[in-house]
Chains A and B, each alone.
Chain A
Amino acid sequence: MKLLQDRKKWHSFKLFLCVLPFVALVLVFSYYPLYGWMYAFFDYKPPKPLSMDDFVGLKWFKSLVESDVKIDQLLQVLKNTFAMSGITLATSWLPMIFAVFLNELRCVPFRKVVQTVTTLPNFISWVLVYSVAFCLFNSTGMANTLLENLGIIKEPILFLQSSDHVWLTMWLWLTWKNLGWSAIMYIAAISGIDDEMYQAAKVDGATRLQRIWYVTIPSLLPTFFVLLMLNIANFLNNGMEQYYVFQNAFNKEYIQVLDLYVYNTAMGSGSYSVSVAISMLKSVVSLVLLLGATGASKKIRGESFL
């Protein structure tokens, strides 16, 4: 009753009620699953329910590094993960530049076509991307036929079986698929830039490139940094679909990223406890990376994003 009488308190209670569903969602879908981490400490095997008899402590964490062969394997997997995420991170400015240049195109129909064509691949599943890749690059595919007809090669090149430059080719596929989609955020941000700034720059005699450099890019940087931070948090989660469909016996050494490793070793064989153990380690590393990034941002730019 007291609450109802105090108008201010009543108002904030109403606001709290508005937020409540979302808090509940976060609790249910983000915090409640953490309870599942306990599976990492049990020898869990369906269909038997968990019981304390199956408690194994840190066994699965230890089993990841119990022999030299396994350590080598894990190190190689981490190397691949860091390399491929690193390349993606190092080139994360590409969508921004793409958006800026796209925005400079004066011919609107052409701009729309480019934007649509580059956005579309995002909606194609990796399985289909692989079938396209297979059609283009198999021994009798378009690439080989073309090269043979031009007389450049005599024997077909086995592109997909090659273990050379796997990180780079994977990055190229990813960029082809994602570039247009990631640019959307920046295109939206550009349209939000105050037109007066451009007009002022024009009056000051700034050239087109100067307007890009001194107006557009600085206005996009906050967006860029937020997206960068999100990317860093996802550093270890570079997904597995892409690598799963492209993997084969010849390139596996360089293509196996952490998620794929979990799938190949644990999920496929029903070793859920091991996969939970690895994903726990992943979460911890991601948290460290995120805190590191926000710390760095605070130092460099004077503001953190958390």
Chain B
Amino acid sequence: MKRKRLAAILIASSLAATSLLGGCGSDGQKNEESQSTKSESGAEVTEVSHDEEMTLEIYDVAANYQGEQSGWFGKILKDKFNLKLNIIAPQVSGDGDSLYQTRSASGNLGDIVILDNSDMQDCIEAGLIMDIGDIIGNYENLSRYQEQINLFNGYLQNVDEGSVYAIPCNMNSNGPTAFTGENAGSAPRVPWDYFKEIGCPEMKTSDDLLKALADIQAAHPTNNEGDAAYAISMWKDWDGTSIANANEVAKWFGQEVRDSILIGADNSITALTDKEGAYYKALQFFYKANQMGIVDPDSATQDWTSANDKMKQKRVYLFWYNWQNPFWNSIDRGNAGENFMYTPVEELEIYQLSDSYYGDGRVWGVGSGVDDEKKARIMELLDWLASPEGLTYLHDGLEGLIYTVNEDGTYTLTKDGEVRFSADIQVPEEQGGGLWADGQCQINQWIVGSAEISPLTNEYYESGLWASTLKANETTTAKEWTEKYGAKNEVEYMKAQGQISMVPNNNVPLGSDTTDIALIRSQCGDLVSDTSWKMVYASDDAQFEQMWDDMTEQLEGLGWDQLVEYDTEKYQPLLDARIETLNSSQES
């Protein structure tokens, strides 16, 4: 223990995170005490008494809030389970990496942990996570997702058969290839009024789309306030191994960028630097756009906040992420015909992952340092979080305040409920008081996603998919669009046209990088991202080609081939799982 603590202090001081020193020391001691009782854990569900108040520490990579869960959700936990949640959020702490290191070095990450898949494998091997395989079967709500949980744990390395260390996030029971959303993850969306102005041209290729955008920009060089507008505006601060915006557009060409490789909808793998690949096509798309003068010249220097401001001011005419829509679209604007809508381009083959039936990239686990009593209370809590009651609180909020129950048992959003993410909504004192948004469950992760059907209403938990909400949201824009393209929404249209390929969203824990690979990855990533930006702004075709060729040559010197080989091997189990899912769903 002393050595561990020493190591923790060392890392912390070398990273100048001295403020964490006190914390890791005491964690280490606590762990020592509790480990002695660990081995006595029984196979039966321990009878849980709520007499004593208990505080659970939850190490949560998804949380955007650090500290005690307060407000209305905190009150529910207190009243129901006599529990308090202390959320430890590496995203908020300032230096998340060193928080992770100091806590893991001390041997106790948290009572409950929520981690990325790859970190989970490391933490299990480091002995930080408890095996709950002996008791999870006793919990009714969690057992409903036994198939997915077992499948995920089966992929884990160096663990015993039948053990359960991880519970995936965001699972549902709609089947592995189901997709409930109305919008594809990535697709070209353009202001409907402007698109009508230029006569809703029929577009065959992405070049036609650029031409339409150029026409729109020529007609509207500024927004209504007179600020310069560009059809395409990008931002630089989300770049990883390649530039984030190009990764999204790559999905229009049937492939998904994952690290250094491209995964096709047909489950093929090629290197990111494949000249026939979708990433190259995406860069070409942006390059051609820039040649036409419709790319915001600030794209390579602005951050997300600046780009986002432009979206809200209609200084951008092309959206690709589906969650960009709400930055402009609203019911009022929809009725005025101004919402951004999908503008079909025949050539596109949209790559779309299905809903996260198997869970997404994160998992829940129970810390190895908890004693039997705590373990029982944690499991009780987790089971409740996966229960219809818990999920209704998590996804839909409070009855009366956020939604009302209709005669047929379905829900309707209240006026407050409609604006709950943007307005300050006061919660009545007897329900916990404070603002609704502050009192939400700050864990910011769900064992079961909102794409699950609630047995209470027979509708999805997701309020955007309730019949009542869909009816209220029917706007003029949507009606006109439906009339023109003969489909209820964009996903229906794409399905009818055979434009979208549903890729099963299998959840396989992928190993984390070795130090060598991590180093190669970051060096190559910098080069690819930098070159990509330069290519977008290249002055002519020859320069565009030249930059690409120079980049591939330099990448070789940095160990790119080794990286591609590593990633190909890493993602192969995921592809195998997808193929298996597809085969079995075809059989049935």
A interface residues (Cβ-Cβ under 8 A, vs B): 29, 32-33, 35-36, 39, 43-50, 63, 67-70, 73, 134, 138-140, 156, 158, 160-161, 248-250, 252, 264-274, 276
Residues of the A chain whose Cβ atoms lie less than 8 Å from the Cβ of B3: 49
Task: Output the nearest chain A residue to B126 by Cβ-Cβ distance.
Answer: A47
23 contacts between A and B (CB under 8 A): A33-B14, A36-B10, A39-B11, A45-B122, A45-B512, A45-B515, A46-B104, A47-B128, A48-B122, A48-B126, A49-B4, A63-B519, A68-B557, A69-B558, A134-B302, A158-B297, A249-B531, A250-B537, A252-B526, A265-B526, A266-B522, A270-B513, A274-B515
4 A-B pairs besides A156-B297, A160-B301, A264-B522 with CB distance below 8 A are A39-B10, A46-B104, A48-B125, A140-B227
Q: How far is the CA of A269 from the CA of B516 in the complex (A)?
A: 10
Cβ 8 A contact of A49, one of B119, B126, B556, B557 = B126
Residues of the B chain whose Cβ atoms lie less than 8 Å from the Cβ of A250: 300, 533-534, 537
A274 touches B14 (CB 8 A): no
- In angstroms, Cα B299 to Cα A248, docked, is 10
Q: Are B514 and A269 in contact (CB under 8 A)?
A: no
CA distance A160 to B14 in the complex (A): 33
B531: nearest chain-A partner, CB-CB: A249
Assess the A268–B522 pair: CB atoms within 8 A: yes
Question: Chain B 487-518, CB within 8 Å of chain A: the 1/0 string?
Answer: 00000000000000000000000001111101
A74 CB to nearest chain B CB (Å): 11
The reply to whether A265 and B557 contact each other, CB–CB distance below 8 Å, is no
Q: Which residues of A contact B531 (CB under 8 A)?
A: 249
B:113-132 near A, CB below 8 Å: 119, 122-123, 125-126, 128
Q: How far is the CB of B298 from chain A (nearest CB, A)?
A: 5
The main secondary structure of chain A at its interface with chain B is helix
Give bound CA distance, A44 to B515, whole Å. 8
Q: Would A252 and B530 be within 8 Å (CB), given that A140-B228, A156-B297 are in contact?
A: yes
B523 at the interface (CB under 8 A from A): yes
| Given A36-B11, A43-B515, A270-B518, A134 and B97 contact (CB-CB distance below 8 Å) | no
| Contact yes or no, A139 B519, CB < 8 A | no
Chain B residues numbered 80-135 whose CB sits less than 8 Å from any CB in chain A = 97, 100-101, 104-105, 109, 119, 122-123, 125-126, 128
For B98, the closest partner residue in chain A by CB is A46
Distance in angstroms between the alpha carbons of A219 and B14 in the assembled complex = 39
Q: Which residues of B contact A266 (CB under 8 A)?
A: 519, 522
Residues 266-299 (chain B) with a chain A CB within 8 angstroms: 296-298
A269 touches B521 (CB 8 A): yes
B414 an interface residue at 8 Å Cβ cutoff?
no
A57 CB to closest chain B CB (Å) equals 14
A33 touches B300 (CB 8 A): no
Contact A269 B513 (CB under 8 A): yes
B97 to chain A: closest residue by CB: A270
Measured CB to CB, the closest approach of chain A to B131, in angstroms, equals 17
Residues of A within 8 A of B298 (CB): 138-140, 158
The distance in angstroms between the C-alpha atoms of A200 and B298, with both chains bound, is 61
Contact pick for A265, options B109, B228, B522, CB 8 Å: B522
CB distance from A88 to the nearest CB of B (A): 23
* Complex: chain A residue closest to B517, CB-CB: A269
User: What residue of chain A has the Cβ atom nearest to residue B297's Cβ?
Assistant: A139
Report how many residues on chain B are interfacial, defined by Cβ distance under 8 Å.
Answer: 52
In the complex the two chains form, what is the Cα distance from A35 to B297 in whole Å? 48
Q: Quick check: A33 and B10 within 8 Å, CB to CB?
A: yes
Does residue B13 face the partner (Cβ distance < 8 Å to A)? yes
Residue on B nearest A256 in the bound complex, by CB: B526
A276 to B526, CA, bound (A): 20
B534 near A249 with CB under 8 A, answer yes
Out of A49, A248, A273, name the residue touching B7 (CB < 8 Å): A49
A130 to B296, CA, bound (A): 19
Per-residue CB contact flags for chain B residues 1-13 toward chain A (1 = under 8 Å, else 0) read 0011001001101
CB-based contact B519/A265 at 8 Å? yes
B539 interface residue (CB < 8 Å to A): no
| A245 CB to nearest chain B CB (Å) | 10
Q: Given A48-B126, A269-B518, A274-B519, are A138 and B302 neighbors across the interface (CB < 8 Å)? A: yes
Task: Name the residue among A35, A249, A265, A274 with the largest chain B CB count within 10 angstroms.
Answer: A249
Q: How far is the CA of A73 from the CA of B100 in the complex (A)?
A: 31
User: Taking the complex as formed, is B578 at the interface, i.e. its CB lies under 8 A from any CB of chain A?
Assistant: no
| Most chain B beta carbons < 10 A, residue from A45, A47, A266 | A47
Determine the chain B residues whose CB is within 8 A of the CB of A270 once the complex forms. Answer: 97, 513, 515, 518
Asked if B526 contacts A264 (CB within 8 A), the reply is yes
Contacts of B532 in A (CB 8 A): 249
Q: Which of B100, B296, B519, B529 contacts A249 (CB 8 A)?
A: B529
Q: How far is the CB of A136 from chain B (nearest CB, A)?
A: 12
Whether the Cβ atoms of A45 and B523 lie closer than 8 Å is no
B554 contacts partner chain A, Cβ-Cβ < 8 Å: yes
**A138 CA / B300 CA spacing, docked (Å):** 11
A273 to B101, CA, bound (A): 14
Q: How far is the CB of B521 from chain A (nearest CB, A)?
A: 6
Does B306 belong to the interface (CB within 8 Å)?
A: yes
Q: Which of B228-265 contact A (CB under 8 A)?
A: 228, 236
A47 with B518, Cβ < 8 A, contacts A69-B557, A140-B227, A250-B534 known: no
- Once the chains bind, are A269 and B522 in contact (CB under 8 Å)? yes
* A127 to chain B: closest residue by CB: B303
- Tell me, rounded to whole Å, the shortest Cβ–Cβ distance linking B48 to chain A: 30
Q: Give the chain A neighbours of B519 by CB distance below 8 A.
A: 63, 265-266, 269, 271, 274
- State A49–B125 Cα separation when bound (angstroms): 11
Are B105's CB and A47's CB within 8 A?
Answer: yes
Give the docked Cα–Cα distance between A139 and B293 (Å).
13
Q: Chain B residues near A29: list those with CB within 8 A.
A: 13
Inter-chain CA distance A48–B515, complex, in Å, is: 13
| Alpha-carbon gap, A248 to B13, bound state (A) | 30
Q: Please list the 9 inter-chain residue pairs (A to B) with the smallest Cβ-Cβ separation, ordered nearest first.
A: A69-B557, A47-B104, A249-B533, A269-B522, A249-B530, A269-B518, A36-B14, A139-B297, A46-B101
In the bound complex, how far is the Cα of B276 from the Cα of A303, in angstroms? 68
- Bitwise interface map of B from 530 to 557 toward A, beta carbon under 8 Å scored 1, else 0: 1111100100000000000000001011
Q: List the A residue with the shortest CB-CB distance to B125.
A: A48
- Taking CB atoms, residues of chain A closer than 8 Å to B530 are 249, 252
Are B296 and A70 touching (Cβ within 8 A)? no
Chain B hits for A67, CB < 8 A:
557-559
Contact at A248–B533, with CB atoms within 8 Å?
A: yes
Taking the closest CB of chain B, its distance from the CB of A169, in whole angstroms, is 14
CA distance A35 to B533 in the complex (A): 41
A35 to B14, CA, bound (A): 10
- Please give me the residue from chain A that is nearest to B533 by CB atom: A249
Residues of B within 8 A of A272 (CB): 11
Residues of B within 8 A of A63 (CB): 516, 519
Q: Are B14 and A276 in contact (CB under 8 A)?
A: yes
Decide: A134 near B523, CB < 8 A? Known: A269-B518, A276-B14.
no
**What's the Cα separation between A271 and B529 when bound, in Å?**
20
Find the A residue at minimum CB distance from B123: A47
| B13 lies within 8 A of A32 (CB) | yes
* Bound Cα distance from A274 to B513, whole angstroms: 15
Asked if B306 contacts A273 (CB within 8 A), the reply is no
Q: Which residue of B lies closest to A264 (CB)?
A: B526
Q: Are B13 and A33 in contact (CB under 8 A)?
A: yes
Query: Closest Cβ of chain A: how far from B14's Cβ, in Å?
Result: 4
A265 to B228, CA, bound (A): 37
How far apart sit A156 and B11, CA to CA, in the bound complex (Å)?
Answer: 47
B103 nearest CB neighbor, chain A only = A47
Q: Tell me if B300 and A46 are in contact (CB < 8 A).
A: no
**CA of A50 to CA of B104, assembled, Å:** 12
Q: How far is the CA of A43 from the CA of B119 in the complex (A)?
A: 17
Bound-complex Cα distance A191 to B409 (A):
82
Nearest chain B CB to A150's CB is how many angstroms away?
A: 18
A238 CB to closest chain B CB, in angstroms?
Answer: 17
Q: What residues on A are CB-neighbors of B521 within 8 Å?
A: 269
Please indicate the chain A residues that have their CB under 8 angstroms from the CB of B533 in the complex.
248-250
